Structure 1
Amino acid sequence: MDFRSLGRILGILVTIFSVTMIPPALVSLYFKDGDGLAFTLAFFICLVIGLAFWLPNRKAKADLKAREGFLIVVLFWTVLGAVGAVPFLISQSVDMSAADAFFESFSGLTTTGATVLSGLDELPKALLFYRQQLQWFGGMGIIVLAVAILPLLGVGGMQLYRAETPGPVKDSKMTPRIADTAQYLWYIYLSLTVACGVAYYLAGMSWFDAICHSFSTIAIGGFSTHDASMGYFDSPAINLICVVFLLISGVNFALHHAFVVTRSLGMYWRDPELRGFLLIQATLVLTCFLVLLGDQVYSAVGTTLDQALFQAVSISTTAGFATTDFAAWPLFLPILLMFSSFIGGCAGSTGGGIKVIRVLLMNLQGMRELKRLVHPKAIYSIRLGRKPVSERVMDAVWGFFAAYALVFVVIMLALMSTGMEEITAFSATVATLNNLGPGLGEVALHYGEIPDASKWLLIIAMLFGRLEIFTLLVLLTPTFWRN
């Protein structure tokens, strides 16, 4: 393990991250909210930390191997989450403990959207902007951005990209050069953000709210600048815009990339994962609509459809935006939506959860086993669309699911050991491991009242969810550390 090269790369990445403190400082200067000094200090603190990693190791330029790639990804997210907490710790506008500051920072970077803050409407604009910006960078992964930059610095990036990119198959390339792919992805990501922001502004948001909410929408993050989240605007048009861009962001960005290259819309519909994703969304929306309509939760049919569409898409894609207290809906619906977040978005999207592709493959495997019960000697192959799926991929999918279930149970039981009651512990684990955000019970509104020990456990859950379980688990195996 070449730790000096790891230190050099980590120093470069943290130094790059220090630049993200400048936009909130400029926002503070524009609005004169008095928080500019905190972000200026945070910039220099992060810069010093980055240089402290880089300077002693600046001449170490060995190529990264697969093991180093996984380690740098995990180190980067943990270190970045730690330095990202600096503005929360030194800002005079909020009084946050270390647990609260780290929780808010990791929640932003992992696009979880769980918050310990209340009274958002009265907070400085700079701090609000910073929270949204954290989600925007975390959405596609700052690692992917770094992959586009690191080759210019003499560092290969394929190992980082493979360790960060979600999905059952991580060896495929979308272009011959990974740097080109990363740059294309960021161009697409930026274009969607601009389009979303403009749409929000035209629908009635202020330019500040439009920019901030476009960040968290495209990142499928869920942070808002208001306590009432999207319900603050009370606008069906804004709700519809949010739904459209959440669905776009929940699609595999490899498809968006391929569309940019080929200009063929047909490729979207030919993708079995996307068809499955849209079918799941349509089923959830229809179910919520019919239940709400039958229970007469809302007086008007239009309002019922608006609320059903927004909440179903927001929760199932793991965004976590809210227009109403969905926990007060008939109990069947909150539980259904919480479980839908286990599926999340497509592989290669900014959504969380297990991912649609894995759920499809597990369903196909289940159907195959049922057929084998009837015809034990028959040979059945699993095909996704027209492509056969190898047994190696199926083993990886089931291994991921087993690890996911194990991590879920361990974290939930650990939360209960801190004194958290059952429904809160369950929903908090769901919300953080799936990078969803809002939960039920004590964490329906925010996470500020739970014990600090619970917050640290949930930070670990956020990291597991963001790093797709295996990337973090592999570091805990003795094999990883053997030469």
Structure 2
Amino acid sequence: MTARILRFPLILILAGLAALLMFLPAIDATMRGNSQVGRAFLYSGGLGLAAVTCLGLAISNRVAAREPTDVQNLASLLLAYLLLPLYLALPFYLGVRNTTFLNAWLEMVSSLTTTGASMFDAPGRIKESLHLWRGLVGWAGGLLIWISAFAVLAPMSLGGFEVTVRAEPGQDDAVLGRFQRARPARRLALAARSLAPIYAGLTLVLWIALMAAGERSFVALIHAMSTLATSGISPIGGFQNGAAGFGGELVVFFFLVFALSRLTFSSDTVPTARPGLLNDPEFRLGVLIVAVVPLILFLRHWIGAIDIDERATVTEALRALWGSVFTVLSFLSTAGFESADWQAARAWSGLGTPGLILIGLAMVGGGVATTAGGVKLLRVYALYLHAQREMERLVHPSSVGRASDTGRRIRRRGAYVAWIFFMLFALSLTGMTVALSLAGLNFETALILALSGLSSTGPLIHSAAEVPIRLVELGPGAKIIYAGAMVLGRVETLALIALLNPAAWRE
């Protein structure tokens, strides 16, 4: 039965799962006595299931004869980000009632792409069942990224895997083992069966840990789902408004580590001998950034930022250090949560609005095949290896580089592909910034919005700007452009170019 279902187009399967997911907030709203919100989700889910069933029956004969290819699954993934939010926004729009459908659609695009930027600055404006829907859509979007990265992007040498494999981006690589040999439908089944229990189990453990730290059950659930999906969605405006305190932040900190490397939860797509987590370049680079950046902010207290006569207690110093460490990892993983001690860290370092630091962290992003966005640590590592080798050749022009076969491949071809992606990212950033500027925004606001969308880090609009950006005040054109930036940042420009390659569609 599962094998037959997976023969249907991926977007149809996702629409059916979205319809089933709507019954959860319907039940929650009914239990809370919000019958109007409950009916919105119940009717939307029922109509969606009926439409998916009818469409599935209509194309069942074609599906039985031929299953989707990798490039068709990639196209379905893109269509899911473009079209599925229109359906996801329907019950949200009917439940809120005092907003436009465009705002509801943008909210769902932000949630599905795990960007986490919200149209509603005041969390109390919408009911808790609607917050649950935002969290569920973001959580499902994170699981979609996990599964599609392993079952769709990895076999086609996309999504960051092009740095380590031998095949050209958009082409299969035989080194990927069973994920390359298996049929596309089989790969989806394998990835879903192996990753979904891990994803759900980690969410459950974090939910229980946050409740043990003193957080309310509902808030703990949303924060647990947002942490695993790195969406940054919160029903109370962030951890600084929660009851879990330092214990809750400490638990979340360890779970954000899953966004630094895919080896923290799987190694099925490692194309070479499995080196282990501690030897993984992505993980080591991420840990280095999390250690060095807070240390620089901490030491800045004694480098002319603060009056030398000012005295601080050990407790204040530790609070400032923890606030920096947590916030740096959060923005590096593109979750965008701020520590409750982040204000103390800013005061300690003497930085009023360290927007450039947060923007840089979000732009670097997390690991390949994780829920994090950005350029990705593996691409940054490839560029670092290439730069290191070029510096060596300046001193010793005739030297022979010392590295393993994998290291040489990453340093040569991997760095070349990583540089191409970085240039595409820069061009996308330039284009989005210009488009938002033409929509009536000033340069700073347009740049922050473009970076927020392309890096899937919605909280940047509040943390990076001196004055928080309110999405609800944007014009319709700017909202549509921002939604396009979020979709482009999630799918990546290189994947779009692979879709336009005629060789990828050739049987």
Instruction: Tell me which interval the TM-score lies in, with the shorter structure as reference length.
Output: 0.7 to 0.9
For residue 192 of structure 1, report the CA deviation from its aligned partner: 1.1
State the AA in 2 paired with 1:198: I
Q: 1:461 to 1:174 in 2, by over 3 A?
A: farther
SS of residue matched to 1:448 = helix
CA distance in 2, matches of 1:165, 1:141: 16
Q: CA-atom RMSD, angstroms?
A: 3.3
Match of 1:83 in 2: 87
Structure 1 Cα separation of the partners of residues 154 and 331 of structure 2: 27
- In 2, the alpha carbon distance for the partners of 1:437 and 1:384 equals 39
For structure 2, the 5+ residue unaligned runs are 1-5, 166-172, 269-273
Q: SS where residue 211 of structure 1 aligns?
A: helix
Residue of structure 2 equivalent to 1:317:
333
Shift of 1:49: 4.1
Give the alignment of 1:381-420 within 5 angstroms: 388-389=409-410, 391-420=412-441
Aligned to 2:161: 168
Match of 2:29 in 1: 28
Distance, in Å, in 2 between the alignment partners of 1:470 and 1:49 is: 33
Give me the TM-score of the superposition, normalised by structure 2: 0.82
Instruction: Choose from 48, 59, 66 the match for 1:57.
Output: 59
The superposition leaves residues 62-95 of structure 1 with CA deviations (integer Å, 9 ceiling, x where unpaired) of 133343232122112222222111122222x342
Q: Is the 8 A contact 1:285 1:308 kept in 2?
A: yes
After superposition, give the CA deviation of every residue in 1:342-379 in whole Å (9 maximum; x if it has no partner).
Answer: 11111121111111010000111122233344455555
In structure 1, what is the equivalent of residue 169 of structure 2? none
TM-score (norm 1): 0.85
Q: Deviations over 1:305-350 (max 9, x none)?
A: 2322222222221101234686997157221121111111111211
Does the 8 Å CA contact 2:10/2:77 hold for their aligned counterparts? no
Q: CA deviation at 1:280?
A: 0.9
Deviation at 1:158, TM superposition (A): 4.7
The answer on 1:452 being equivalent to 2:479 is no
1:214 aligns with 2:224: yes
SS at 1:60 equivalent: helix
One-letter code aligned to 2:216: S
Structure 2 match to 1:95: 98
Distance 1:129 1:278 in 2: 32
Q: CA deviation at 1:232?
A: 0.5
Distance 2:488 2:286 in 1: 23
Contact map agreement 2:223 2:234 (CA 8 A) in 1: yes
Task: Tell me how far 1:292 sits from its aligned partner.
Answer: 6.1
- Is 1:273 paired with 2:289? no
Distance verdict in 2 for CA 1:158–1:198, change over 3 Å: closer
Which of 228, 233, 239 is 1:223 aligned to? 233
Residue of structure 1 aligned with 2:135, choices 132, 137, 159: 132
Equivalents in 2 of 1:345, 1:65: separation in Å? Answer: 28
Distance 1:414 1:297 in 2: 48
Work out the percentage of aligned pairs sharing the same amino acid: 26
Specify every segment of 5 or more residues in structure 1 that has no aligned partner in the other structure, as ranges.
148-156, 260-264
Is the Cα contact below 8 Å between 2:353 and 2:466 reproduced in 1? no
Aligned to 2:376: 355
Q: Deviations over 1:96-154 (max 9, x none)?
A: 22321111101101110111113213521210100001111111316828x9xxxxxxx
Q: Contact between 2:353 and 2:465, CA under 8 Å: does it hold in 1?
A: no
For 1:165 and 1:140, how far apart are their aligned partners in 2? Answer: 18
SS at match of 1:47: helix
For 1:402 and 1:386, how far apart are their aligned partners in 2? 22
| Partners of 2:7 and 2:67 within 8 A in 1 | no
2:386 maps to amino acid = Q
For 1:306, the equivalent position in structure 2 comes to: 322
Deviations 1:424-460 (A, max 9, x none): 1111111111001122448725422122211111111
Q: How many positions carry a matched residue from both structures?
A: 462
Task: Letter of the 2:88 partner, please give it.
Answer: G
Report the Cα distance in structure 1 between the residues aligned to 2:112 and 2:195, rounded to whole angstroms. Answer: 18
What is the alpha-carbon distance in structure 2 between the residues aligned to residue 253 and residue 221 of structure 1?
17
Distance change in 2, residues 1:143/1:63 (3 Å) = farther
